[in-house]
Amino acid sequence: MSQSQRLSQGGMIDRSKPISFAFDGRQYTGYQGDTLASALLANGVRLMGRSFKYHRPRGAIAAGSEEPNALVQLETGAYTEPNTRATCIELYDGLVAKSQNRWPSLEFDIGAVNSLVARFLPAGFYYKTFMWPASMWMTYEKFIRKAAGLGVSPVEDDPDVYHGTYAHCDVLVIGGGPAGISAATAAAGSGARVMLLDEGSEYGGALLGTSDNAAAKSYIDSALGALGQSENVRLLSRTTATGYYDYNYITALEKVTDHLGPGNGGDAPRQRFWKIRAKQVVIAAGSIERPLIFADNDRPGMMLANAVGVYINRYGVLPGNDVVVFTNNDSAYQVALDASAAGATVTVVDTRRNVSADLKSKLEQNNIRLFEGHAISSVQGGKGVESVRIMELSADGESLQGQAWEIVCTCVATSGGWTPSCHMFSQSGGKLKYEESIAGFIPDSSRAKNSCPNVSAGSCNGVFTTQECIAQGVEAGISAAGAAGRSGSVPSVDTFAVNEIPQGAIAPLWLVPTVHPVGEGKAKHFHDFQNDVTAADIHLAAREGFVSVEHLKRYTTTGMATDQGKTSNLNALAIMANIQGVSIPEVGTTTFRPPYTPLTLGAVGGQESRELFIQERKTPMHEHHVASGAVFEDVGDWKRPWYLPKEGEDMHAAVQRETLAVRESVGMLDASTLGKIDIQGKDAVKLLEMVYTNNWQKLAIGSCRYGLMLNEHGMIFDDGVTTRLGENHYHMTTTTGGAARVMNWLEEWLQTEWPEWEVYCTSVTEQWAVLAINGPKARDLLRDLTDIDVSKDAFPFMTMREGTVADVPARVYRISFTGELSYEINVPARYGKHLIEALTEAGKKYDLVPYGTETMHVLRAEKGFIIVGQDTDGTVTPHDMDMDWIVSKTKEEYLGNRAQARVDTRREKRPQLIGLLTEDPTVVLPEGAHIVAEVLDKPPMPTIGHVTSSYMSPNAGRSIALALLQDGINRKGETVSLSMMDGTVHKAKVTDTVFVDKEGVRVRG
């Protein structure tokens, strides 16, 4: 049965290049230039998949990207891709595809039992059945997920490479059919920089499916050749414009090497995602034929009329030897003639009674039977159409009458008219208008969005002859180029005519009647093939009140499948309009949304995946940490050493050792990531006074002060130490994660509220490498390396000294986040590595221990120092943190001042920071654990607070915790209960927040 439906001649395939491929485990042969769908049809395979809900047998109905049925699982393993349209897969040697949603096989599918219980699976079935009781959903879901569905996602990593790229142009032309090609030619001739995109492998659009496509091809080649010569033109085939966003920002997916097969793309990426900014856009996206909706119109062999023409003319494949053409307009007559010329026995069934004499005579000349005023009443055949019965339509088109005739056929070519592809125009924000003469929506150029200048041309604009399309394209190209400021001399653009019969006078028949009322009897009238939605579902939605177009869509799922209703939406709207007795524009359309066709997520990500997904910030000492065996933690974008385990140590052991060492000898921490802002100018102190809660007027040069920043809600949002370096010169530090936020905060106020102030803020975070040395031996260690007098009196706590450390210039800040004697040594970033190496060497005799952020957290918690963002969450005031000591009572004004006097920030029983000591000192409470007012048998229990920080403290010799507790400050000494997820309850005593060195002697040592 090798290529039994392949015509002996014709088509644009390369018969000298046979290609072998496998579908559902069987080997077939096609030709270079085939799609998977055309090659399967050539081999007599009509059945390509099972439908989503009812598991009905389905075949391809289209020849392009609008295909709803023929979705296959392409390739295997890591390369596998679900829901791929067979009509868009270019055939390559060794291609492997499988049909979807069938088990155990396509021919015999157990799920087809859904068809037998179809009565019980109408629209809204999920909502009605599974909303209640909620617990039963868990049971139903497994069944539903297995029974309904499409392809299977790959489980392995995507082995392919994707690129993203940007482009700018004067005129972007979307669609490379006759309108698009002529628009690009005219625009390029005007001197515009032009991009021309087409989703197909070949330019030409509908021309490729005509019987004189050989002549068309030479016309296209000559036009493309001329465009290709032009330096200001970029041609992108296999490229689909997927989204149209504000200000003419268009995204497009280029399938660079998909057509070569997996792994055969060489160095080229699999796909490229274009982000294009165009001054003007010409939309020449073409149009999509609608199926007629009649009883059992989904049997394999049923196709859109134009698709039959394309398979015959472009691919040299006759989809069936006996063809019934079922139409309500003229365009399908060309398909009847083409099929007849290809050797098929053809019958035309036209719902209209006034077929023109010209068309009738053409049919007669070719011995094609014509039934006027008739319609298909039923279809015979399960896995493929075997025959249809036709009956006469009543004058009003609402019923069938007279005798039924049976016509044997294996292919039914249907045309319900043409729907202009308004997706791009609609996505750009433009509104559509209904055009009675073509029974479809077209762009209303008077209601386009000003920020998205575009013009539609060709059949997406409602004109259907090649010559009209070319003429509109030329006009659009010239006007777009002109609007983009290019108005050079425009060359004349050749026009071209093909064998085609335009749609002509269409007689809409949105739902073909049967002998039964819709919804009764066994037959189904599908309008949305991919989501298995029928006309009866629309009737049901109307009966139940879901008449708004947006409700109709969601209730029936019409247009919500991966094809987004390209072939179904207008039919659905029209059926609803008929039910309600209103016009189609009164029903309206749903919103067109990107992407136009399904899009590979990998392509959207482009190069920004894996290690390039997010930038990593590394300190100048990073290499040293790596060599020291540090385990890293992400803090913002920074990589910070988390802990530095010795051989055989786990995290707990390493942190306990590091924490003890800091208080016993000396430890060092890379603090380079702390935010640092250099502030200068005569009004610098005014800025500090406004952004911090405490006083800054009297800070001496060379002295440091801790500050707390509030937002205008009065809530803490950052903290840090700021040092006065000179008369009008300050060095501010911020939290690691808050650096950018604080910088923006300062700039916002300075630029928008106090622009007259003379203050300059410069981020210097990355200019300085910082090592913090902490512990009783810190002074001894520093003394060995510096020319600064480090004696207690010469260099007291909360001051800064400049000098050299390890022979490089340094600023040393005697500040402490551990409660120990501590120095933060700042050197220019380029000396960071040198500094840590010098300290490591010099520190040997003092048992210097490098430590990471986890130990830093334990050490500061032992002292009750808060971490903004851990112990605070944007809802706590300084008072809640028991930090009234840092809030000025004398300053007239600062940011966040007024909010602290609000009723809510003053109310009693706000959560306040306290310490917790568990009754069992070995219990480390989980952070986030709830303090409950009352222990009940099971949750929920009334919560009065939660743990914010919790560690095993080797220096306290027990577990410690910080927590936010309602009215906590007044509860010190009380015992509270904490309820764990597993039901255990821990008791803990409420204490103050300082667990080590309560008098604060060590830090001043």
Partner 1 sequence: MFIINCPYCGDRDQTEFSCHGEAHIPRPTNTATMTDEEWGDYVFFRSNPKGYHRERWLHDHGCRRWFNALRHTVTDEFVATYKVQDPRPQIPGDGDQS
- Chain residues binding partner 1 by CB under 8 A are 245-247, 249, 277, 429, 449-451, 712-713, 744, 747-748, 751-753, 755, 892-893, 897-899, 902-903
Quick count: other Cβ atoms within 10 Å of Cβ 507?
A: 15
Among 666, 664, 624, residue whose Cα is nearest residue 641 = 624
Gyration radius (Cα) of the chain, Å: 37
Nearest distance in Å: CB 683, partner 1 = 16
Q: Which is nearer to partner 1, 753 or 807 (by Cβ)?
A: 753
Measured CA distances, 584 to 111, 570, 581 (Å): 36, 9, 9
Nearest distance in Å: CB 277, partner 1 = 7
Nearest distance in Å: CB 795, partner 1 = 37
Distance between CA atoms of 421 and 163, rounded to whole angstroms?
28
Name the strand (E) or helix (H) holding 615. none
Q: Which is nearer to partner 1, 154 or 681 (by Cβ)?
A: 681
Estimate to the nearest angstrom the gap between the alpha carbon of 822 and the chain centroid: 48
3-state per-residue secondary structure call for 307-347 = HHHHHHHCCCECCCCEEEEEECCCCHHHHHHHHHHCCCEEE
- Render the burial of 245-279: b for 16+ CB within 10 Å, e for the rest: eeebebbbbbbbbbeebbeebeeebbbbbbbbebb
Structure tokens at 662: 């800091």
- Render the burial of 755-773: b for 16+ CB within 10 Å, e for the rest: eebebebebebeebbbbbb
Distance between CA atoms of 237 and 220, rounded to whole angstroms?
13
Nearest distance in Å: CB 521, partner 1 = 48
Q: Please name the residue that has the structure tokens 């494949």.
A: 317
Estimate to the nearest angstrom the gap between the alpha carbon of 914 and the chain centroid: 43
Name the strand (E) or helix (H) holding 288. strand 287-289
Nearest distance in Å: CB 352, partner 1 = 43
Q: Which is nearer to partner 1, 712 or 920 (by Cβ)?
A: 712
Q: Which is nearer to partner 1, 751 or 943 (by Cβ)?
A: 751
Q: Which is nearer to partner 1, 710 or 815 (by Cβ)?
A: 710
Q: What is the DSSP letter of 267?
A: T
Nearest distance in Å: CB 733, partner 1 = 20
Nearest distance in Å: CB 248, partner 1 = 9
Distance between CA atoms of 457 and 460, rounded to whole angstroms?
6
Q: Which is nearer to partner 1, 154 or 429 (by Cβ)?
A: 429
Q: Which is nearer to partner 1, 163 or 449 (by Cβ)?
A: 449
Distance between CA atoms of 413 and 393, rounded to whole angstroms?
19
Q: Which is nearer to partner 1, 179 or 746 (by Cβ)?
A: 746
Quick count: other Cβ atoms within 10 Å of Cβ 450?
A: 6
Nearest distance in Å: CB 957, partner 1 = 46
Residue 428 one-letter amino acid: S
Residue 224 has phi, psi (to 5 degrees) of -65, -35
End-to-end CA, the chain: 95
Nearest distance in Å: CB 940, partner 1 = 30
Q: Which is nearer to partner 1, 222 or 451 (by Cβ)?
A: 451
| DSSP annotation string for 705-763 | EEEEEE-TTS-EEEEEEEEEEETTEEEEEE-TTTHHHHHHHHHHHHHHT-TTS--EEEE
Q: Which is nearer to partner 1, 193 or 299 (by Cβ)?
A: 193
Quick count: other Cβ atoms within 10 Å of Cβ 101?
A: 23
Q: Which is nearer to partner 1, 360 or 713 (by Cβ)?
A: 713
Nearest distance in Å: CB 30, partner 1 = 41
Nearest distance in Å: CB 444, partner 1 = 15
Q: Which is nearer to partner 1, 725 or 740 (by Cβ)?
A: 740
Q: Taking each helix axis from N to C terminus, what angle separates 305-313 and 332-341, rounded to the nearest 10 degrees?
A: 40
Nearest distance in Å: CB 765, partner 1 = 15
Structure tokens at 269: 């990426």
Nearest distance in Å: CB 895, partner 1 = 8
3-state per-residue secondary structure call for 439-494 = CEEEECHHHCCCCCCEEECHHHHCCCCHHHHHHHHHHHHHHHHHHCCCCCCCCCCC
Q: Which is nearer to partner 1, 108 or 166 (by Cβ)?
A: 166
Q: Which is nearer to partner 1, 155 or 903 (by Cβ)?
A: 903
Nearest distance in Å: CB 930, partner 1 = 29
Q: Which is nearer to partner 1, 766 or 780 (by Cβ)?
A: 766
Nearest distance in Å: CB 484, partner 1 = 14
**Strand locations in 80-221 (E):** 81-85, 95-99, 162-174, 194-197
Quick count: other Cβ atoms within 10 Å of Cβ 882?
A: 16
Q: Which is nearer to partner 1, 741 or 833 (by Cβ)?
A: 741
Nearest distance in Å: CB 562, partner 1 = 25
Nearest distance in Å: CB 897, partner 1 = 7
Among 676, 689, 793, 766, residue whose Cα is nearest residue 725 = 676
Q: Which is nearer to partner 1, 79 or 249 (by Cβ)?
A: 249
Residue 953 has phi, psi (to 5 degrees) of -100, 110
Opening angle at CA 301, ends 296 and 306, nearest 5: 105
